[in-house]
């Protein structure tokens, strides 16, 4: 199958990646690669509609400046290409993320098997690593977890390995949703319930720990909803945004009723809050 590759540069507006992905997903784009400087999207040549694509770009340009380049990719074995470029990543001395075709690491306690198929959350992006590292420092035993924007399901799977009682994981991308279910089966994580759609679709419940490694704008929009889903003194972990956006997220979180416990100093941010 022949694919088109579309490279999109947003000139410092990486927080719009999730919005762009959602809009391109509506016009049959199949997979996405997020990097600091650009977003790359892929679609089978037979499904590409130039008019729909141009309309989508025009809608985006009402909010942000962007440039794009479309190129045709040569036909090749994409599964083999992916395997050649997906390497195991060691998060810390206890955790490694690998695919099912990689060898087992018997001396590392947590071997998490992730076959991402271009879903977000392979462990290679800094925000995923930040979230995992912080999750290691929070007691999950017998806790109820909510993972918002689960992607590959990697954080939910780790929570399961940490003996969480029950995990709810949600994503609005059909590809990610199916991929997360497959990855949970690979890791024998039987206490995860996956949902396709928006957070509002989940019946209101009380969670002990909430993860949201997603777009800044979505976090700001839904902070009150997170708060309503959480027990008193429960933990909220937020990531997926840059350092220059963190103060806005902190201020909004304080207004909603969260107390900040931790803020890192790196370019990509992670914030740890407690519900008052």
Calpha distance 192→163 (Å, rounded):
11
**What mean pLDDT do residues 3-20 have?**
87
Contact 143, 156 (CB under 8 A): no
CATH code 3.30.70.100 region(s) in the chain: 3-75
Range scoring the smallest mean pLDDT among 28-37, 44-53, 157-166? 28-37
**Could you tell me the strand order of the sheet in which 89-92 lies?**
89-92, 95-98, 110-113
| Per-residue model confidence as pLDDT tens digits over 77-86 | 655 666 666 7
| Per-residue model confidence as pLDDT tens digits over 199-216 | 888 888 899 999 999 888
What pTM value is reported for the model? 0.75
In CATH, what is the architecture of 119-275?
Answer: 3-Layer(aba) Sandwich (3.40)
Dig out the tokens for 273 from the structure.
Answer: 């809050």
| Per-residue model confidence as pLDDT tens digits over 37-78 | 789 998 888 899 999 999 999 999 998 999 999 999 876 665
Opening angle at CA 255, ends 249 and 258, nearest 5: 75
Calpha distance 154→152 (Å, rounded):
5
CATH code 3.40.50.150 region(s) in the chain: 119-275
Residue 121 has pLDDT above 80, yes or no: no
For domain 3-75, give the fold.
Answer: Alpha-Beta Plaits (3.30.70)
Q: Name the residue with higher pLDDT: 30 or 61.
A: 61
Going by the DSSP 8-state scheme, the letter that residue 167 receives in this structure is E
Q: Residues in the chain, how many? A: 276
DSSP class per residue in 4-71: EEEEEE-TT-GGGHHHHHHHHHTTT--EEEE-SS-EEEEEEGGG--HHHHHHHHHHHHTT---EEEEE
């Amino acid at each position: 199958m022949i694919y088109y590759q579309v490279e999109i540069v947003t000139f410092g507006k990486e927080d719009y990646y999730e919005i762009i992905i959602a809009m391109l997903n509506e016009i049959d784009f199949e997979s996405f690669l997020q990097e600091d400087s650009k977003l790359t999207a892929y679609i089978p040549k037979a499904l590409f509609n130039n008019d729909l694509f141009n309309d989508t770009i025009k809608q985006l340009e009402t909010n942000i400046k962007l440039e794009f380049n479309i190129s045709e990719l040569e036909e090749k074995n994409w599964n083999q290409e992916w395997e050649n470029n997906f390497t195991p990543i060691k998060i810390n001395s206890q955790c490694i993320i690998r695919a099912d075709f990689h060898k087992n690491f018997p001396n590392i306690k947590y071997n998490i098997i992730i076959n991402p198929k271009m879903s977000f959350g392979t462990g290679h992006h800094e925000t995923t690593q930040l979230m995992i590292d912080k999750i290691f420092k929070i007691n999950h035993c017998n806790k109820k977890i909510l993972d918002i924007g689960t992607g590959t399901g990697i954080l939910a799977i780790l929570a399961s390995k940490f003996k969480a009682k029950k995990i709810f994981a949600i994503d609005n991308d059909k590809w990610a949703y199916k991929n997360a279910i497959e990855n949970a089966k690979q890791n024998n994580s039987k206490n995860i319930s996956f949902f396709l759609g928006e957070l509002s679709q989940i019946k209101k419940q009380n969670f002990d720990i909430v993860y949201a490694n997603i777009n800044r704008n979505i976090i700001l929009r839904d902070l009150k909803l997170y708060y309503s889903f959480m027990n008193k003194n429960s933990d909220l972990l937020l990531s997926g945004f840059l350092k220059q956006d963190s103060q806005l997220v902190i201020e909004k979180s304080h207004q909603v009723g969260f107390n900040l416990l931790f803020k890192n100093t790196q370019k990509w941010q992670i914030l740890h809050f407690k519900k008052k």
